Structure 1
Amino acid sequence: MSNQGSDSLAEACKTVRECEAERVAKVAGAERKRAPRLTRMRAAVAVALACASLVGCASSTDVVASGKAGSYTVAASATGGRMAWARAHELAMNEARDYCDRRGMQSSVNRETVSGVSAMTAHASSVSFECHPRF
């Protein structure tokens, strides 16, 4: 009887050890899966912060009707780096395009004035445009 009891006890211990080993393996596997995900997430946040610091700020004025009928002007400015003029230009062009798009028309730029060339200074773009029917 004592032999049978010790066999049952050994069997139970073996089962417990297997279960514990399996549980430890699952936890270790989860940790291994989580670690690369966490590393990738940290890298993505670092890249986003780096990009945000390079982008700087950009803003535009409302579209204003100029003296000539059907002619408008919009200005945009941007700061934060040597390529700020490109962001100011793009923002002004997008504002002009969007203004005409909302009216079911397309924009046609007449003149653009750009200012600011030094790094870390405000760069500006002023666009004079007209809206024409789409063909």
Structure 2
Amino acid sequence: MSSQGLDSVAEARKTVRLLEAACVAQAESTERKRAALLARMRAVAAVALACASVVGCASSTDVVASGKPGTYTVAASATGGRMAWARAHELAMNEARDYCERRGMQSSVSTETVSGVSVMTEHESSVSFECHPRF
């Protein structure tokens, strides 16, 4: 092979090595960016999970007729934090109000029983109510 041909091959190999090095550097840069993004996404997920555990969950039972005619009962419970009792109370009251409003009436709470006052325990509210016509 002539010296000019060998120079061209050597130059082509040098160009290929430079391109390979550039690709490797770009891949490493992309990998660092992905790792940083993944770390940020994990941090956001951890914060969201922490907030959700502090806020907690709340649920209610169906409204049921009690032994006294025209009187109904609904119970609600909530967990997660000091204000769980307030969420349980609010949910029970809203269920009672909504039940009567669907019948074109308004609710009148006769008794409420609450339980659970310690942090991070289940708090419950049971409401007995009646539905009365709107005036």
Distance 1:110 1:35 in 2: 58
2:108 matched residue in structure 1: 110
**Aligned pair in 2 of structure 1 residues 40, 97: CA closer, same or farther (>3 Å)?**
farther
**Aligned pair in 2 of structure 1 residues 19, 54: CA closer, same or farther (>3 Å)?**
same
Contact 2:97–2:107 (8 Å) recurs in 1:
no
**SS of aligned partner of 2:36:** helix
**Aligned pair in 2 of structure 1 residues 94, 37: CA closer, same or farther (>3 Å)?**
farther
1:39 matched residue in structure 2: 39
Aligned-pair CA distance for 1:96: 3.9
91-100 vs 55-64, which moves further:
91-100
Counterpart of 1:39, as a letter, is A
**SS of aligned partner of 1:80:** coil
1:78 matched residue in structure 2: 78
Q: TM-score, normalised by structure 2?
A: 0.68
**Aligned pair in 2 of structure 1 residues 94, 11: CA closer, same or farther (>3 Å)?**
farther
1:38-89 CA distances to partner (integer Å, 9 max, x unpaired)?
Answer: 11221123123323433445432221134454x5331112233211112212
1:10-53 CA distances to partner (integer Å, 9 max, x unpaired)?
Answer: 22112212321231133123213312221122112312332343
Aligned-pair CA distance for 1:94: 4.5
- 1:11-26 equivalences in 2 (<5 Å): 11-26=11-26
2:131 matched residue in structure 1: 130
**Percent identity of equivalent pairs:** 65
2:50 matched residue in structure 1: 50
Q: TM-score, normalised by structure 1?
A: 0.68
**SS of aligned partner of 1:119:** coil
Distance 1:17 1:37 in 2: 30
